Structure 1
Amino acid sequence: MNITAARAAADNKVEAAFLRHKQGDIPFAYAVYKDVLTEFPDHSRALHYLGLIAQQTGHPQEALRLLQRAIEIEPGDVRAHNHLGQVWVGLKDKEAALECFERAVQVDPTHADSINNLANAVRVRDPLRSIELYRRALELNPLSALAAYNLANALNEERDSDGAVAMHERALEIDPRFVRAHINLGLLLEQKGRFAEAAEHYQRVLEIKPRHPGALANLIAVRSYEPSAEIVRDAEQLLTDSNTDERARIRLHSGIGKYYDRERQYPRAFEHFIAAKRIVQERGAGFEIRRIAEQIDRTIGAFSRSFFEQASAHGSDSARPVFIVGMPRSGTTLTEQILASHRSVFGAGELQDMPRILKGLRPGYPANVATLEASKLAALAEEYLRGLEANAGDALRITDKLPVNFMHLGMIATLFPHARIIHCRRDPMDVGLSCLIELFDMDSDFTTSLEHFGQYFLQYDRLMTHWRTTLPVSMFELRYEELVKDPETHARALVDYCGLEWDPACLDFQQTGRTVRTPSRWQVRQPIYQRSVGRWRNYEEQMEPLRRLLRESDYKYIQVEE
């Protein structure tokens, strides 16, 4: 056999082995690739596929060597560039991965898998480009459930929840057994108030993959769903399974706790809430009250009364921003939902823009604010407004209900002296319980114990006391207990404070079709009710550590008389 024929035979052997490789017969494929390389050491496909085996069997450095050699021999192999990028992803080298995917798309602009992976690589830094790339990948391969799924998630991150729902539905049309699409679509439907449909997707997951931890936890936690004894038993048994990972345990404890809370088995519910938070804490929640107190000391020092008296420049004259602040679970979502039901208000939700912008002023922030020039303040205000107004149309007012913006009210007043600030207050005992029940994604999670919550709350209250006496802008203080006792009076006052005429839709806020991304997505779909006032008393014995801490601090909160 001449060399050309021998090479053609080797090519056929490698591709036939690759078919077996894709079917899972790695030992057979490995032997063929090695055999071919013995005769043809520069056989690029054999090197390429052997690199895939190295990646699949946990040898990423060997995979890099083999794939890089394959590309040296055949630089026009788009799949080799793509696979090399995937190895770099596994090694968490984002820049190297991005370079490989960019090169792959340059080699073949129609290679859908490479385009999809490039979209993944740029999603954080350039979300709009990632959406464009996912769309192109889906056009090139209309049967790619993964591209539709990725596009759905990217759209959701850009707050296009309707587009996200449509793309998840498309992914499931392509692959009805796509578990992650069912889970994410279920969560989206919950945020839209379509709880029964969400439950159906979690149930579908359990049909595909019985005892799936995420589906069980989410299904049990859906307020409108009554789980069977078998469902609850499966969830509790998963907690005893050593194969259940920490993340799944957190979600299962949380879901089971909410189930027992609805069943009024409060001691049992509390055990699960505490168990979930304990795992969160053990995973490194990183809460240090000393750091919080020091941060608030610096903020109070920087934004003093004399600072505002001497300030001669501000950022913007815009009156569109409405900042809704307070502790988590203090009524911020309800307040935004009331306002967002007004025909002239757009509810933007919990925007991360203000903390992100102020992070750019570190390490000197907040002390360096006093030295910022008027042009810098104007640029910061304009940067924030671009994000705030992105989807707001011609709304007169736009709400940003990120609760932690209470930390930044000094800078907010400096940038937007005509903005509205609404401070939501609620009995810290009820807030503390609600924060213990819900799961949060925070770098410094103060909700992992009642003691941590109480320490954080007292520092928050110290800062809010400072703002009341120093801010040069008016602040509307809204007590949750008063709002739910007399909704119309306080809703009218809210609307009037925002400089708007009354809109009766504000009292029918539960009919608003907007997406609600916070844990309050169930509550704000219901007419206002008072049963959450004093809810902590169901757990009076368990809540004693927080009650004692507040009592020793002399904190007082005047509740509305029953």
Structure 2
Amino acid sequence: MTDPVEQAAAALADNPARAGELAARYPANPRIAVNLGHALRTRGDREGAIAAYRRAAALQPTNGEAWWSLANLKIGVLGAADEREMRRLLERRDLDERDRMRLSYALGRLLEDAGRFAESFEHYAAGAAVAFRQRQSPPPDYRQQAADISALFSEEFFARRKGWGAASAAPIFVVGLPRSGSTLVEQILATHPDIEGTMELPYTGSIAGRLAARGPDAIARLTEREVRALGEEYLAQAGVHRRLGRLRFIDKMPNNFRHVGLIRLILPDACIIDVRRHPMAAGFSCFKQLFAEGHDYSYDLAELGLYYRFYLATVRHFAKVQPGTIHTQVYEALVAEPDAQIAALLDAAGVDFAPECLRFYENRRAVRTVSSEQVRQPIYRSALEHWRHYESFLGPLKQALGDAASNWH
């Protein structure tokens, strides 16, 4: 039977109202302290989150999650004493492999903030190597996946199914690679009075997985009635997260770019926004990020390049066979001219311009992604070319990208 303390700890991050109560009840439990930090970070209480993560590290110095959570705030809270302690911990032969992985990423971030880029990359690579070893399946054939998607979702496919699906313009899908500006786009949209931000909803992927289990031709065999039912199923599941009563809502699951064809089939009136960033910047940003789950491709530079090509080919295919149905928001353009780009973004989402969207950073909504701290401040340009500090280490990424390294726009 699961320990009730462990059950409480697992649920804590998703229940901020209970966070303080449970932390007070179990003051010596480092896992509860970490998840209290997660809850406070989501709510926007930066100082409270830092204190909770520090407490977890004090209670259990080898707790890699506590150290990585401090680093992952991305506001430079780790200092020289922390560096010495993390290096000491990494020398321990009895250190759990997952703690070693998290400590490596945390030290990499500390060194990056200090401008020690070569040392920083060494630790990012060490952490990524551990994460890569833990993956449960070999890398897929991304080129074949892109070809299969293109073969199924042709112009003729959609022409024969015109008018199918659930008639709702409520969903706004924000897709692309992680660390490409999707949380920023979500925050801008969610500041509009007619649009609600929810979270990275799993329902499209769940429907796609269920259909895949029925065979490669399962989507092609769906009847009009079944297609509509799937759209209604998604809307019902997503409806649980719609708590503000607004007309539109955002589903910010980046990997839904894989399922654009399914979305266009079951929810033909939904808005799809593709957030695109320079592939070297996006690739390195993914590589140095330790994700909570999934994103196995991000722990190998060469695979990252192939994955970006898969993403680019997939989105471009749908732009060709369903022209005008995907709005591509280039991150660099949004940073360069935010006012004009935000106006165009709102127009693409089908809502009137709202000036408060220009002050998205004042929105106090809960943000559940690793970019939570960045989107609570105005847009800044400093990150655009930051990857060039690491360019000499990113050869495998650039080689795998091929021509996508230059023709990605």
- The two structures have a TM-score, normalised by structure 2, of 0.93
Shift of 1:467: 0.9
Change (3 A) 1:147 1:251: closer
Aligned match for 1:152, one of 2, 8, 12: 12
Identity among equivalent positions (%) equals: 32
1:210-249 equivalence runs, <5 A: 210-249=61-100
Match of 1:179 in 2: 30
Matched to 2:378, the amino acid is P
Match of 2:367 in 1: 516
Structure 1: which 5+ residue stretches go unaligned? Answer: 1-85, 90-112, 117-144, 157-163
Which residue of 295, 308, 312 corresponds with 2:158?
Answer: 308
Selected match of 1:547 from 393, 398, 407: 398
Offset at 1:279?
0.5
Verify: 1:353 aligned to 2:203, yes or no. yes
Which of the two has higher C-alpha Rg?
A: 1
The alpha-carbon distance between structure 1 residues 165 and 450, as it changes in their structure 2 partners (threshold 3 A), is: same
The CA deviation at 1:150 is 5.5
| Whole-Å separation in 1 of the counterparts to 2:306 and 2:219 | 28
Distance 1:447 1:240, change over 3 A: same
- Structure 2, unaligned runs of 5 or more: none
CA distance in 2, matches of 1:327, 1:206: 31
**185 and 554 in structure 1: CA distance in 2 versus 1, 3 angstrom threshold:** closer
Asked whether the 8 Å contact 2:277–2:332 carries over to 1, the reply is yes
Change in CA separation of 1:244 and 1:472 when aligned onto 2, cut-off 3 Å: same
Whichever residue aligns with residue 333 of structure 1, its letter is T
What is the rounded CA distance, in whole Å, between the counterparts of 1:187 and 1:269 in structure 2?
Answer: 25
Task: Give how far 1:458 is off.
Answer: 1.2
Alignment equivalent of 1:453, drawn from 284, 304, 310? 304
1:552 shift after superposition = 5.5
Cα distance 1:447–1:196, how it changes in 2: closer, same or farther (>3 A)? same
Conserved? CA contact 2:359–2:378, under 8 Å: yes
Distance 2:380 2:282 in 1: 16
Corresponding residue of 2:329: 478
The corresponding residue for 1:159 is none
- Retained in 2: the 8 A contact 1:189–1:197? yes
**Which among 137, 145, 169 is matched to residue 295 of structure 1?**
145
Q: Helix, strand or coil for the counterpart of 1:367?
A: coil
Paired AA for residue 237 in structure 2: G
Name which of structure 1's ranges 382-391 and 367-376 shifts more when overlaid on structure 2.
367-376
* 1:400 to 2:260 alignment: no
Separation of aligned partners in 2, 1:183 and 1:369: 42
Does the 8 Å CA contact 1:148/1:170 hold for their aligned counterparts? no
**The residue matched to 2:199 in structure 1 has which SS?**
coil
CA drift of 1:210 comes to 4.1
CA distance in 2, matches of 1:174, 1:380: 44
Single out whichever of 463-472 and 431-440 deviates more from structure 2: 463-472
Secondary structure at 2:93 match in 1: coil
Distance 1:553 1:321, change over 3 A: closer
The equivalent residue for 1:142 is: none
Higher deviation after alignment, 431-440 or 358-367 = 358-367
Matched, 1:378 2:378: no
Structure-to-structure mapping, 1:113-262, within 5 angstroms: 149=9, 152=12, 156=14, 164-262=15-113
Partner in structure 1 of residue 313 of structure 2? 462
CA distance in 2, matches of 1:299, 1:408: 9
| Alpha-carbon distance change, 552 to 395 in structure 1, aligned in 2, over 3 angstroms | closer
Is the 1:285–1:445 Cα contact (8 Å) retained in structure 2? no
Distance in 2, matches of 1:285 and 1:448, equals 13
Q: Which has the higher helix share?
A: 1
3-state DSSP class of the match of 1:318? Answer: coil
- Residue 557 of structure 1 deviates from its aligned partner by 3.4
* Aligned twin of 1:391: 241
The aligned runs of 1:309-348 (5 Å cut-off) are 309-348=159-198
Greater relative CO, 1 or 2 (CA 8 Å, sep 6+): 2
Counterparts of 1:464 and 1:296 in 2: how far apart (Å)?
Answer: 10
The AA in structure 2 aligned to 1:378 is R
- 1:360 and 1:549, CA in 2 relative to 1: closer, same or farther beyond 3 A? closer
2:371 alignment partner, SS class? helix
Separation of aligned partners in 1, 2:403 and 2:64: 41
Q: SS at the partner of 1:423?
A: strand
1: CA distance, partners of 2:35 / 2:405: 45
Q: 1:82-130 deviations in whole A, cap 9, x for unaligned?
A: xxxx3xx7xxxxxxxxxxxxxxxxxxxxxxx9xx6xxxxxxxxxxxxxx
SS at 1:222 equivalent: coil
Q: Distance in 2 between matches of 1:197 and 1:425?
A: 33
Letter in 2 for 1:342: H
For normalisation by structure 1, the TM-score amounts to 0.69
| Preserved CA contact (<8 Å) 1:182 1:201 | yes
Q: Please tell me whether residue 274 in structure 1 is matched to residue 134 in structure 2.
A: no
Which whole-Å CA distance do the structure 2 matches of 1:193 and 1:342 have between them?
Answer: 19
CA contact (8 A) 2:312 2:408 kept: no
1:146, 1:171 within 8 Å by CA — same for their partners in 2? no
SS in 2 for 1:541: helix
SS in 2 for 1:325: strand
Amino acid at match of 1:404: N
Give distance in 2, aligned partners of 1:212 and 1:444.
23
Distance 1:425 1:443, change over 3 A: closer
Cα separation, partners in 2 of 1:356 and 1:411, compared to 1, 3 Å:
same
Write the deviation string for residues 49-89 of structure 1: whole angstroms up to 9, x where unpaired: xxxxxxxxxxxxxxxxxxxxxxxxxxxxxxxxxxxxx3xx7
Tell me the amino acid that sits aligned with residue 367 of structure 1: D
Aligned pair count reads 408
* 1:209–1:412 distance in 2 versus 1, CA, 3 Å: closer
Shift of 1:165: 1.8
Shift of 1:369: 2.1
User: Partner of 1:177: helix, strand, or coil?
Assistant: coil
Measured at CA, do residues 187 and 310 of structure 1 come closer, stay the same or move farther in structure 2, by a change above 3 Å?
Answer: same
- TM-superposition CA deviations, 1:498-548 (whole Å, max 9, x none): 221222221221222222222211211121011111221111211222223
The C-alpha deviation readout for 1:263-312, integer Å capped at 9, x for no partner, is 1111111111111110111123534242x333322221111111112224
CA distance in structure 1 between the aligned counterparts of 2:308 and 2:217, rounded to whole angstroms: 24
| Aligned equivalents of 1:553, 1:530: Cα separation in 2 | 23
| DSSP-derived class of the 2:175 partner | strand
Q: Assess, with a 3 A threshold, how the Cα gap between structure 1 residues 303 and 189 changes in structure 2: closer, same or farther.
A: same
Deviation string, structure 1 residues 331-350 (Cα, Å, up to 9, x no partner): 11110110001111111121
